[in-house]
Amino acid sequence: QVQLQESGPGLVKPSETLSLTCAVSGYSISSGYYWGWIRQPPGKGLEWIGSIYHSGSTYYNPSLKSRVTISVDTSKNQFSLKLSSVTAADTAVYYCARIVGPGPIDYWGQGTLVTVSS
């Protein structure tokens, strides 16, 4: 059974960098699939942030591209998200996910709430 688990600070100060890691179990990242991040502001809808292939190819949402970096560490079977220069608008539940394709998302982490506040 594939499982994903997000980890990282729950509180980030404005203008700083948000950093999250997603640990994958039950499947080897280096075997394939895309791996990505999606976020959901409290009480709102879903926003696709970006994805990475196991080889390292990345795809980012143009609206966030200048601030986002997604990387993969196959030796640790995990991938990471960095979002720089955060503001209150970046407060959201951040989900990591396995993406078929690139296409539909078949496995999701439980999500982690990141609040941007001083």
Partner 1 sequence: EIVLTQSPGTLSLSPGERATLSCRASQSVSSSYLAWYQQKPGQAPRLLIYGASSRATGIPDRFSGSGSGTDFTLTISRLEPEDFAVYYCQQYGSSPPHTFGQGTKLEIK
101 binds partner 1, rule: CB under 8 A:
yes
How many Å apart are CA 70 and CA 58, to the nearest integer? 7
10 binds partner 1, rule: CB under 8 A:
no
CA 32 from centre of chain? 17
Nearer to partner 1, 15 or 25 (CB): 25
Query: Which tokens in the block code for residue 7?
Result: 């980890």
Choice from 5, 19, 61, 77 touching partner 1 (CB under 8 A): 61
Number of helices and strands (H, E) in the chain? 0, 11
Q: Give the footprint of partner 1 on this chain (CB under 8 A).
A: 45-48, 50-51, 59-63, 95, 100-106, 108-111
